[in-house]
Amino acid sequence: MPVPLLERITADTLQPESADVVIIGAGIAGVSAALNLAEAGLKVVVCEKGLVGAEQSSRNWGWVRQMGRDQAELPLTMRSLKLWRQLDAKYGIDTGFRETGITYVARTRAEERELTDWSKIGGAANLNSRVLGPAELEALLPGIAPRFRMGLYTADDGRAEPGKAAPAIARAAQKLGATFLENCAVRGIETTAGRVSSVVTEHGTIRTSATIVAAGAWSRLFLGNMGLNFPQLKVLGTAARVEDVANVPTMPVGGGDFAFRETLDGAFYVALRNYNIAPLTPDHFRLFLDYLPVLMKSWRELNLRLTGLFFSELKVPRSWSLNEETPFEKMRILDPAPHMPFNIRALTTLRTAFPNFAPARITHNWAGIIDTTPDAVPAIGPIEQVPGLHIASGFSGHGFGIGPGAGELIAEIVRGVKPAVDPKPFRFDRFGKTQSPKLQVAA
Ligand SMILES: Cc1cc2nc3c(=O)[nH]c(=O)nc-3n(C[C@H](O)[C@H](O)[C@H](O)COP(=O)(O)OP(=O)(O)OC[C@H]3O[C@@H](n4cnc5c(N)ncnc54)[C@H](O)[C@@H]3O)c2cc1C
């Protein structure tokens, strides 16, 4: 069965002629930006080629985690967690957020070292993370196998429901006046005197002076048609839902080769942690030098494979004019096949770590395409070469947790107000300042 339970919104049906801001993509980043902009009184239109939340934002594990984050990302992650805590009460919605705490457990010396090293980063950022010895670990995570001798616990990390969160935030934004259009692919952007002047969708044109590309795994292709190089590659993440489990921890737990999280209805999401498949695509060759350091560092975890995706991507046009059908209309929802051996292996390793998972029965398997940047940090901010064009993308497998914070940050940048966190680490131009956009000039 495919990805479990994506809640639906009642989408708007009339495409407005103009907007203060048009957002391209209704994943967690796009809907969170819409919420912040609508709350500030701006007229916002969100265009989604498929359904709200249907790609990465509903396919993830649901971990809302500060622990283990890149130092550059930590202030935004901490801010985002603060927002997650307020969302449900403030807007009367149900994102499924629970402040459960999260624990990483270590079995090998190398894993122990990794946790100890990161605890120093967390400590420096005043994060509520604590290294646990064997007795504390057993008390916090009853039923854990004795071979785990150390853990790292962050009490105020948590979890939310991926099938609920993006639609719930979209509904809150709709209440504040934002328009959400589903089955509405954006083909491109038109400019006047070098600045954004309209967004062209499959249904017509929306006049606007500001737009945010929050297109997840599609952002590179979209910007490529404008002559902009956003280095972004695709990784396949696979997960499973299991039922019939009792007496296991209710907080998310991750080991070297497993991860699990309890869902609101008492089932568990299970996955093989630190293992993803990187299907080779033509972009691997185009971006080889950008990604070389990552390839060298994470070779073991990446599992580069030649699959059908290489040949299907070769056929995807990389440029088009705005009056023709685009790749976004041809693929409404990216719904890749899960890699079943990973799910089976995840459950096997999990049963060794927590024997009470023995009776677990897999009820769903699914996958999602994760978009990654060369430094695994997202791009959030203006694209200086085209005034009015902004990006919030490249979340590199962490975007669910930082989604509300990223949405707030890009909304603050678009509004020109002082951001709650320093936007510098997320600058688009860190990928190269010498971009030469090919502008589609408005008629
Ligand atoms: C298996 C898996 C596990 C994960 N686990 C976690 C986790 O536990 N915690 C965590 O923080 N993160 C996790 N992630 C990562 C997280 O899900 C993503 O980083 C995050 O959802 C990205 O959000 P987004 O809004 O950028 O993209 P998406 O949710 O992918 O949304 C982008 C949207 O843009 C739309 N779009 C694209 N092009 C166009 C266009 N031209 N016109 C209109 N619409 C367009 C797409 O249809 C899509 O709906 C995981 C991801 C996967 C796949």
Of 274-283, 411-420, 428-437, the one with minimum mean pLDDT is 428-437
Distance of CA 135 from the midpoint of ligand 1 (Å): 38
Percent of the chain's residues with pLDDT above 70? 98
**What's the pLDDT band for 296 if we cut at 50, 70, 90?**
confident
Q: What number is the average pLDDT over the span 30-35?
A: 99
The secondary structure element, H or E, covering residue 258 is strand 258-262
Domains of the chain in sequence order: 21-101+156-441 (3.50.50.60)
Place of tokens 């017509």: 204
| Residue in 322, 239, 221 with CA at minimum distance from that of residue 61 | 239
| Residue in 371, 426, 364 with CA at minimum distance from that of residue 163 | 364
Q: Establish whether residue 437 lines the binding site of ligand 1, counting it when its CB lies within 6 angstroms of any ligand atom.
A: no
Q: What is the pLDDT of residues 48-68, one digit of tens each?
A: 999 999 999 999 999 999 999
Tokens of 104: 């990483």
Q: For residue 50, which atom of ligand 1 is closest to its CA?
A: 47
Q: For residue 366, which atom of ligand 1 is closest to its CA?
A: 1
Tell how many helices (H) and how many strands (E) occur in the chain. 14, 22
Alpha carbon 162 to its chain centroid, in Å, reads 10
Residue 255 amino acid letter: G
Q: How far apart are CA 384 and CA 433, in angstroms?
A: 9
Percent of the chain's residues with pLDDT above 90? 88
Q: What number is the average pLDDT over the span 333-354?
A: 96
| Residue in 88, 92, 80, 91 with CA at minimum distance from that of residue 157 | 80
The secondary structure element, H or E, covering residue 200 is strand 195-201
How far are the Cα atoms of 77, 128, 216, 393 from residue 399, in angstroms, in the given order?
10, 21, 9, 9
Q: What is the pLDDT of residues 118-153, one digit of tens each?
A: 999 999 999 989 999 999 999 999 999 999 999 999
Quick one: pLDDT at residue 297? 76
Distance of CA 118 from the midpoint of ligand 1 (Å): 26
Q: Establish whether residue 272 lines the binding site of ligand 1, counting it when its CB lies within 6 angstroms of any ligand atom.
A: no
User: Are 382 and 390 in contact, with CB atoms under 8 Å apart?
Assistant: yes
Q: What is the pLDDT of residues 70-117, one digit of tens each?
A: 889 999 999 999 999 999 999 999 999 999 999 999 999 999 999 999
Quick one: pLDDT at residue 276? 80
Q: How far apart are CA 59 and CA 53, in angstroms?
A: 9
Q: Establish whether residue 269 lines the binding site of ligand 1, counting it when its CB lies within 6 angstroms of any ligand atom.
A: no
Quick one: pLDDT at residue 1? 52
Q: What number is the average pLDDT over the span 327-348?
A: 96
Protein residue with its CA nearest to atom 3 in ligand 1: 60
Q: What is the pLDDT of residues 168-198, one digit of tens each?
A: 999 999 999 999 999 999 999 999 999 999 9
Protein residue with its CA nearest to atom 9 in ligand 1: 63
- In DSSP terms, 269 is beta-bridged to 241, 261
**Backbone dihedral region of 274: left (phi > 0), alpha (psi from -120 to 50 degrees) or beta?**
left
Protein residue with its CA nearest to atom 51 in ligand 1: 60
**What's the pLDDT band for 2 if we cut at 50, 70, 90?**
low
Distance of CA 60 from the midpoint of ligand 1 (Å): 8
Q: What is the pLDDT of residues 225-252, one digit of tens each?
A: 999 999 999 999 999 999 999 999 999 9
Q: What number is the average pLDDT over the span 208-226?
A: 98
**DSSP code of 15?**
P
Strands 179-181 and 44-47: parallel
pLDDT higher than threshold 70 for residue 294: yes
**Which residues have a Cβ under 8 Å from the Cβ of 323 and sit 6 or more positions away?**
none
Q: Establish whether residue 26 lines the binding site of ligand 1, counting it when its CB lies within 6 angstroms of any ligand atom.
A: yes
Q: How far apart are CA 345 and CA 290, in angstroms?
A: 32
Protein residue with its CA nearest to atom 15 in ligand 1: 397
Q: Establish whether residue 397 lines the binding site of ligand 1, counting it when its CB lies within 6 angstroms of any ligand atom.
A: yes
